[in-house]
Structure 1
């Protein structure tokens, strides 16, 4: 399984600018929802190898919460050509997330 790798705020900003498709998973250290959702999100992203994917811990890098307007965690963000195209937070419907990503990726092909 292709797991999400840790990133820094600076790397995330550069990744959003430099990649056509960039997915960011914002989570917290002791967040049970975050840790339960992560493997499901990784599984969805398996179907989309063209998406660069990273995760960022907002407890370790608190300024990331402000940079990405995070008020609750987890937050799932998909950027397309530098623009936020998907934002899901807290309780995420995995099937809905998959179909949203699929729709966006299909339009770009």
Structure 2
């Protein structure tokens, strides 16, 4: 499984994605059933793409994330390349299209070298 780093402050979130070639942040919310059921489905997808550094942040612990990234619903799945957001998925995320999108983003990140 992918190892998701727990991000517990807005500073940790910034340090996590800024200056990284490729990163992924999973934003969840306390008590969110969709968040809880989606997370174990995306873990193996990200595990097969180690080029994405993976992190997790909880809106309850780091409410500033909502303003920082304009996250208005959870879960939010954010992809970054060289510190810039390149893709996002929110709320209901069908796994098959998500898997294809991760493959596409992986190729994009590889082309940045």
TM over 0.5: yes
Deviations 1:27-85 (A, max 9, x none): 01111100000011111101101110000000111111111101110000000111111
Residue number in structure 2 paired with 1:61:
62
SS at match of 1:37: helix
Classify the secondary structure of the residue corresponding to 1:30.
coil
CA distance in 2, matches of 1:76, 1:108: 17
Moved >3 Å (runs of 4+): none
| Aligned twin of 1:15 | 16
Match of 1:4 in 2: 4
Instruction: Classify 1:62/1:108 alpha carbon distance in 2 versus 1 (closer, same or farther; 3 Å).
Output: closer
Q: Could you tell me which runs of 5 or more consecutive residues in structure 1 were left unpaired when the two chains were aligned.
A: none
| Deviation of 1:3 (Å) | 3.5
Alignment correspondent of 1:104: 105
Q: Distance in 1 between matches of 2:44 and 2:36?
A: 14
Q: TM-score, normalised by structure 2?
A: 0.89
**Structure 2: gaps spanning 5 or more residues:** none
Q: CA RMSD in A?
A: 1.2
Give secondary structure in 1 for the equivalent of 2:18: helix
Correspondence for 2:39: 38
TM-score by length of 1: 0.92
